[in-house]
Structure 1
Amino acid sequence: MLAGVALAVLAVAGAHAQEKAPASAPSADGLQPDELYMEADLVVRDDAHKTITARGDVEVRYNGRTLRAQELVYDEGRGVITARGDVQTISADGTVEYADEVTLDDEMKAGVATGFSTRMQDNAKLAAASAIRRSDTVNELNQAIYTPCELCVNDKPKKPSWSIKADKVVEDRDRQIVYYRNAVIQVLGVPVLYLPVFWHPDPEATRKSGLLPPTISASNRRGFSYQQPYLIVLSPYSDLTLSPQINSKVNPFLNGHYRKRFYSGQIDARFGYTYDRDFDSSGDPFGDRTSRSYLLASGAFRIDDKWRWGFTAERASDDYIFDKYEVGNVYHARGPYLTDDRRLISQIYSVRQDERSYLSIAAFSIQGLRPTDVDRTFPLVAPLIEARWEPQRNVLGGRLRVNASAVALTRDQSSEDLTQRLPGLDSRRATGGLDWRSSYTSQIGVRVDPFVNVRADAYSLSDLPTGGSKTTSRALAVAGADITYPLYRRFGDSTVVLEPVMQVAVSPSAKQITYVDYSGATVYLDEDSRSFEFDETTLFRADKFPGFDLYEDGARLNVGARASVLWDDGRRAEFLVGRSFRDAVNSVFPARTGLQPRASDWIVAAEAQPMKGLSVFSRVRLDSDSLDVERAEAGANFALKRASGYFRYLRDDSNVNGVKTENLDLGTEVPIGQHWGVTASGSLDLEQSAWIVRNLGVFYHDDCLRVDIIYRREDTVVGRLGPSDSIAFRLTLATLGEAINAN
């Protein structure tokens, strides 16, 4: 038998002796290029017919490929190999192909197979009655089926959750695409879609053009809607996703998403367009046909190791375009400057930063999408300059920082009386200052951090309500110290830390910038501190105003106590309570903040991670006299074995607009059994005892498929859009667009 194997090896190798390349490094199996290794239980050489037959656990290795079968016949004259019985062909990349019978050329690259199947990456499988192997990278299959699902469980056959059956399938690994002719997509054994021509990326492809999962929905605004994303890979560094939304009640709407990565940064742009009349919450059209569109774009680039620049471009042709066409993920940060909900910001910025200095130059404008917003009343901010520098050495035993800032705001119209188109207030400010801070720790553990901050501002106001302009300047200063005395002790597997905190700060009387409004009242200029809250994040600020226009003066004492419990297994809990005292009433603070009296409201805050997968937080502001809750916020996030979700609660007796608010946001996903589950989320206005929005869904998922059906109810009235009901259907198939996360 050994002699027969040796003869077979010599015979096949000899057929390539004329073409054999010079010796090179061996492959992973130890063979040189064009060397062949074969083993079998029995080898028979027929010189008359020029054939070699191997039987019984045959294995042939050649040029990185391995062929296994129960019988193998090599025809030397024709250069053809025929393998029968549990045939396996293993390529150099690890891909395995199976067949009942295979006929190959003598390099095992091209051939024909019957009873063919293959397992690709991501566990995807192709099977066919017959297959033609054109080359290493191209397979043609007849009467084929494709599925990434498991076909057996516990050694028992299992019908795939989804599959594609076709008369003909071509797997092109060079192009990383699988083509189908007369394809039928089956979900849970039921045919759901017939496509005469269809293709999708090869599971081995990392990025490839093709269809992504569609979104199907029905609502009283647009009627029946079908949105089909298609990914176009433009280059290894850029792609474009086009998502036409076909609606039964209104004209189609095209969404797009373009991404491109450069050597120094990237661009991300979303856009949408339609040509249609406006419509109300019932889908009834009105007005003239016109172009309606939106743009949500951003870019960020690095010039060198210190400089970077970027931009955002956010605009919409009408205020309700995102609501009408259900465009999601709109109001989030795309650049360093943020806006409120239902407002868009376009900005351009450049930043230079190193270990000792920082410089930022920016400009931005805002578009309001709220029913009461008038864009002419929003300022154009250009430029906005912020800079700081620290010397390398300490000064007087502490860290010194030099700060500078400048900003110009221009308004087209005043917001006081929109009917008269009154001129808007324009303002310009330039600021320079020094900030010094040091730290000392005594032998008993008391830490004292003294600080001094001096600042000079120059202001220029124009288009004042009373007419004319105003130029003024001021000098500001504050000195004080932060004092803490942390105490800790071990208790079993935990560490307890108690830390009393005190801050003393003294400032001379500050000159506030004022002007007279159209009613004749004197008001403080406040362009940058209108929406701040008094909580644990601002309790120990020497100047609690986050901006520059308003300044906290006088003598004040901020006191509090922190307590922490840190367990060795990662659990933790933290608690803080404190308040602020001052030498006199400060009417510069809005009454709603609780900072006007000599003794401020109480601040209480806590957060904890009591177990793995659960985190909670709460912050409360209590009235200084009655201890009534003036503002409260609480929330939790959980990701447990049986459920995941979140909740947020907010109560504010007087928000920025002086209106009491109380609302609750919550959401959860709860699996039911191995494959089924429900989702629920919503936002409840407790002050109005009405839901703002509600979502209720059911889903099915397994190793290769997820189906979501979601009912959505919007009860709020946004402008002329009234309440809305919709049902959305989403089908996600593994290897077609995105992965399935099966738990």
Structure 2
Amino acid sequence: MRSRRRPTSAAAKCALLAGAAMAVLCAEPALAQTRIARPLRPTTSPVPAPVPDGLQPGEMYMEADQVIRDDKNKITTAEGSVEVRYQGRTLRADKVVYEEGESDGQGVIRALGHVTIVNADGTVEYADEFVLDDKMRAGVAQGFSARLQENIKLAGATAVRRSESIQELNRAIYTPCPICANDHPKTPTWSISAERVVQDKVHRVVYYRHARVHVLGVPILYLPVFWHADPSAPRASGLLAPKIQASDRRGFSYEQPYLFVLSPYADLILSPQLNTKVNPFLNGQFRKRFYSGDVDVRFGYTHDKDFDGKGQKFGTDTNRSYILARGGFQLTDAWRAGFTAEHTSDPLLFDKYQIGDVYQTRGPYIPDDRRLISQVYAARQDQRSYFSAAAMTFQGLRAGDNNRTFPLVAPLIEGHYDAPEKIAGGRLRVNVSAVALTRDQSPLDQASRLPGLDSRRVTGDLDWRASYTSAAGLRVEPFVQARADAYSVGDMLTGVGKQTTSKTTGRALGVAGVDVTYPFFKRWHDATIILEPVAQLAISPKAKQIVVGRDTTGAPVYLNEDSVAFDFDETTLFRANKFPGYDLYEDGSRLNVGGRVAVLWDDGRRANLLIGRSYRADRNTVFSASSGLRPRASDWIVAADAQPIRGLTIFGRARLDADDLTVHRAEAGANLASKWGSGFVRYLRDDSSTLGPTLVGSTVIPAGQRVENFEMGGDVPVTKNWGVTAYGNRDLVQKAWVIRDLGVYYRDDCARVDVIYRREDTIIGRLGPRDSIALRLTLATLGSPFTVR
């Protein structure tokens, strides 16, 4: 009776559709991270569309060489190439037998011989024999194996479903690695074996007994008892992946996170770090999602003495802690609000305990490197307007940082509005800004603890711009800006001890000008050449700068809270006011000129070049001596980038002296990616502070301290599986390497092992230079790398 379809009686369906039940019995382990599918119960709701195999919900298709019904003994048998399809699953076996029980729930279903179950998601399960009750609540599979998603392979001597909530595998092995090569068995790169794996759905936990991690067939880690949350459950409390490290600073370190699910919308992770050289350190993270937003709080605490790079303790026991928190809320379609809270008791706490992901962007305002920011903010935005209000404080973690010199910013208000209609043929924008800064101590003479400068500013600004293009391609963009500022400055040093004074003042500023560009296009062989001369004329009346004191030569010192980090380069060459902030303003008549050249090849290669400089009617001493903008003719700006071949990009930018073309600032680099490897090189030189002291944030860089360094890194595969990595950062002024890395790695489809030697010559506080060897093992499907340092 080949290829014969049978009626879907209740007995036949229970007997012959064991395939639907087998998927329930074969509970995928937690590491597979897949859900367990169950047959659908009959329903009186409208019949949905057929599944891809053409069967309606509840329908079954079966074919076999022979079907025998023994009414006397209540046994139904299907033999010979049995295939059953139901609910998107397909069961194939040599034989399927159903024995009805004396009472309801006592029946037994057996699928025998080369049993294969193909699920709707493409996963496949195999067994020599499946046995389960007719209610599909309990059962056993002998010689079980499975191929799951992400090419994961799983096998067990037996798979047991004791109830709807308790399922287990005995003598199980798990691996995502290839186990066959050229039709021959192959030892997987890594695998996990366990005597017993139990999935408890009630408690949402997966338990392991006598688990071993094998690499190339060799056991490297043994865990007599281990458990974690069941990934097949939406959310459940349990152990997360541990972190194991070894270092000179803390000795051997074991950190074990545990997840507490507090509600469907909140959880808490506590992660105690146990160290052999120093006291334990507790890390934690609390997360909660609300209807309009979410909150994420990271924290840590210990009570211990300070210690150096070798783990030697000194000082007194004290509380040491940190917090890294953020929250964001979408109050309405236009309004959003939020906060960040970042603080640490020790500037080197994150380095000593190797706490990662510290300097992330958690809010709209971003501090400099190795600085923390705490802020509250609210913002409203629609298609034509924007408004924001914020307050913030800073904490510096760099060597020499003094937090008393950082200002309290409260409030900071910004807004703009675009007029809906054109005015005089152009776009009109109205801008407003206000800020108040309070500082405890001056950064200029920290030993004397002089009072810090306080300032308050309110600004209103009108910005109009139009654009006209002629038939010949000449583009003319006239612009006008008008601005009014009101300032109140307090705690200005008089030059006599700690005596201070205050003042309130206002000013009106403005600029009018025009941008002119005239691009030329030419086709040359297989390339397009674009030549674009650019000119900008800007005229401003003499600006009233806010003077807050005099230097030792009697020259005025201008208020400058928001333009301390300023570079004259290709991004600021064609700005009418080159200062990025409000406190300083560029005045006078100036002409910014330059030329752009671009060559675009049809095969994707490209090259770009920009050369330009600025001319002004008079010298402008508001710019710093190191900026290159003080003379009537500024320094030259040169910037170029190119992609000469596929996979290679190069770039370079420089500022050249106006008189002798000496390089004052230069940056160049290249990136390469090909089948032979990948790598990068970087070079940076900056003479900004050689002409005098420079204030960068709240740090004074002494005169004559030139910056010049070289950085490189690469990854070169030597064979299919083996390769080398390298990284170096060299200080060319000190003629010393800052960091050197040299590594060897092995990788395949399911694992990567890195052995890296690192030499750090920099001294960060008391941690000091060090040599280290790191072993990093990354296993596919198991999340974060396993690292030993």
Please confirm whether the aligned pair reaches a TM-score higher than 0.5, indicating the same fold.
Answer: yes
> Counterpart of 1:722?
768
The one-letter code matched in structure 2 to 1:660 is R
Write out per-residue CA displacement over residues 315-369 of structure 1, whole angstroms, 9 at most, x where no aligned residue: 1101111222233343343322222222211112211122221112111111112
SS in 1 for 2:571: coil
SS in 2 for 1:322: helix
Q: Which residue of 57, 64, 86 maps to 2:81?
A: 57
> Counterpart of 1:309?
337
List aligned pairs for 1:402-441, cutoff 5 A: 402-441=430-469
> What CA distance in whole angstroms lies between the structure 2 residues aligned with 1:139 and 1:100?
19
List aligned pairs for 1:498-517, cutoff 5 A: 498-516=531-549
Write out per-residue CA displacement over residues 127-148 of structure 1, whole angstroms, 9 at most, x where no aligned residue: 1222223467753222222222
Of the structure 1 ranges 238-247 and 80-89, higher mean CA displacement relative to structure 2 is found in 238-247
The structure-2 alpha-carbon separation of the partners of 1:640 and 1:368, relative to structure 1 and needing over 3 Å to count, comes to same
List aligned pairs for 1:519-530, cutoff 5 A: 521=554, 522-530=556-564
> What CA distance in whole angstroms lies between the structure 2 residues aligned with 1:609 and 1:220?
44
Of the structure 1 ranges 550-559 and 602-611, higher mean CA displacement relative to structure 2 is found in 602-611
> What CA distance in whole angstroms lies between the structure 2 residues aligned with 1:615 and 1:447?
31
SS in 2 for 1:143: strand
Q: Which residue of 357, 362, 378 maps to 1:334?
A: 362
The structure-2 alpha-carbon separation of the partners of 1:328 and 1:141, relative to structure 1 and needing over 3 Å to count, comes to closer
> What CA distance in whole angstroms lies between the structure 1 residues aligned with 2:87 and 2:534?
73
List aligned pairs for 1:50-449, cutoff 5 A: 50-62=74-86, 65-77=89-101, 79-91=107-119, 94-106=122-134, 110-134=138-162, 139-171=167-199, 178-200=206-228, 213-230=241-258, 237-449=265-477
Write out per-residue CA displacement over residues 213-233 of structure 1, whole angstroms, 9 at most, x where no aligned residue: 554443332233344445555
> Counterpart of 2:778?
732
Of the structure 1 ranges 705-714 and 364-373, higher mean CA displacement relative to structure 2 is found in 705-714
Question: Retained in 2: the 8 A contact 1:215–1:728?
Answer: no
> What CA distance in whole angstroms lies between the structure 2 residues aligned with 1:603 and 1:102?
77
The structure-2 alpha-carbon separation of the partners of 1:711 and 1:22, relative to structure 1 and needing over 3 Å to count, comes to same
Measured on the aligned residues, the alpha-carbon RMSD in Å equals 3.0
Q: How far did 1:645 drift?
A: 3.6
**2:582 matched to 1:560?**
no
**2:64 matched to 1:40?**
yes
Question: Retained in 2: the 8 A contact 1:147–1:160?
Answer: yes
Write out per-residue CA displacement over residues 99-146 of structure 1, whole angstroms, 9 at most, x where no aligned residue: 112223335553222111123332323212222234677532222222
The structure-2 alpha-carbon separation of the partners of 1:554 and 1:278, relative to structure 1 and needing over 3 Å to count, comes to same
SS in 2 for 1:718: coil
Q: Which residue of 670, 681, 684 maps to 1:650?
A: 684
Q: How far did 1:241 drift?
A: 4.4
> What CA distance in whole angstroms lies between the structure 2 residues aligned with 1:93 and 1:4?
27
**2:516 matched to 1:483?**
yes
> What CA distance in whole angstroms lies between the structure 1 residues aligned with 2:347 and 2:92?
66
> What CA distance in whole angstroms lies between the structure 2 residues aligned with 1:250 and 1:528?
42
> What CA distance in whole angstroms lies between the structure 2 residues aligned with 1:219 and 1:664?
28
Of the structure 1 ranges 88-97 and 77-86, higher mean CA displacement relative to structure 2 is found in 88-97
Q: How far did 1:524 drift?
A: 1.1
Q: How far did 1:554 drift?
A: 1.0
> Counterpart of 2:634?
600
**2:741 matched to 1:664?**
no
**2:749 matched to 1:703?**
yes
SS in 2 for 1:713: strand
Write out per-residue CA displacement over residues 251-309 of structure 1, whole angstroms, 9 at most, x where no aligned residue: 22233344444443333333322211001222211111111112222223222222222
> What CA distance in whole angstroms lies between the structure 2 residues aligned with 1:585 and 1:444?
37
Question: Retained in 2: the 8 A contact 1:528–1:548?
Answer: yes
SS in 1 for 2:493: coil
> What CA distance in whole angstroms lies between the structure 2 residues aligned with 1:546 and 1:173?
59
> What CA distance in whole angstroms lies between the structure 2 residues aligned with 1:706 and 1:653?
43
Write out per-residue CA displacement over residues 374-408 of structure 1, whole angstroms, 9 at most, x where no aligned residue: 11111111111111112111111111111111111
The structure-2 alpha-carbon separation of the partners of 1:269 and 1:44, relative to structure 1 and needing over 3 Å to count, comes to same
TM-score, reference length from structure 1: 0.92
> What CA distance in whole angstroms lies between the structure 1 residues aligned with 2:538 and 2:4?
98
> What CA distance in whole angstroms lies between the structure 2 residues aligned with 1:708 and 1:107?
51
> What CA distance in whole angstroms lies between the structure 1 residues aligned with 2:88 and 2:767?
65
The structure-2 alpha-carbon separation of the partners of 1:107 and 1:119, relative to structure 1 and needing over 3 Å to count, comes to farther
SS in 1 for 2:12: helix
> What CA distance in whole angstroms lies between the structure 1 residues aligned with 2:252 and 2:711?
28
Q: How far did 1:370 drift?
A: 2.1
The structure-2 alpha-carbon separation of the partners of 1:706 and 1:68, relative to structure 1 and needing over 3 Å to count, comes to same
Q: How far did 1:178 drift?
A: 4.2
Of the structure 1 ranges 60-69 and 207-216, higher mean CA displacement relative to structure 2 is found in 207-216
> What CA distance in whole angstroms lies between the structure 1 residues aligned with 2:762 and 2:15?
81
Of the structure 1 ranges 402-411 and 97-106, higher mean CA displacement relative to structure 2 is found in 97-106
Percent sequence identity over aligned pairs? 63
> What CA distance in whole angstroms lies between the structure 2 residues aligned with 1:627 and 1:51?
98
The structure-2 alpha-carbon separation of the partners of 1:603 and 1:39, relative to structure 1 and needing over 3 Å to count, comes to same
Aligned length: 738
Show structure 1 runs of 5+ residues with no match.
none
Write out per-residue CA displacement over residues 486-531 of structure 1, whole angstroms, 9 at most, x where no aligned residue: 1123345433211000000111111111122586943111111112
The structure-2 alpha-carbon separation of the partners of 1:421 and 1:218, relative to structure 1 and needing over 3 Å to count, comes to same
Q: Which residue of 580, 593, 596 maps to 2:614?
A: 580
Question: Retained in 2: the 8 A contact 1:363–1:381?
Answer: yes
Question: Retained in 2: the 8 A contact 1:488–1:495?
Answer: yes
Question: Retained in 2: the 8 A contact 1:382–1:409?
Answer: yes
Show structure 2 runs of 5+ residues with no match.
17-40, 495-499, 695-700
> What CA distance in whole angstroms lies between the structure 1 residues aligned with 2:548 and 2:390?
27
Question: Retained in 2: the 8 A contact 1:23–1:33?
Answer: no
> Counterpart of 2:724?
678
SS in 2 for 1:591: coil
SS in 2 for 1:468: strand
**2:507 matched to 1:474?**
yes
Question: Retained in 2: the 8 A contact 1:709–1:728?
Answer: yes
The one-letter code matched in structure 1 to 2:12 is V
> What CA distance in whole angstroms lies between the structure 2 residues aligned with 1:598 and 1:255?
57
Question: Retained in 2: the 8 A contact 1:8–1:52?
Answer: no
Q: Which residue of 508, 531, 545 maps to 2:579?
A: 545
Question: Retained in 2: the 8 A contact 1:88–1:97?
Answer: yes
> What CA distance in whole angstroms lies between the structure 2 residues aligned with 1:339 and 1:126?
48
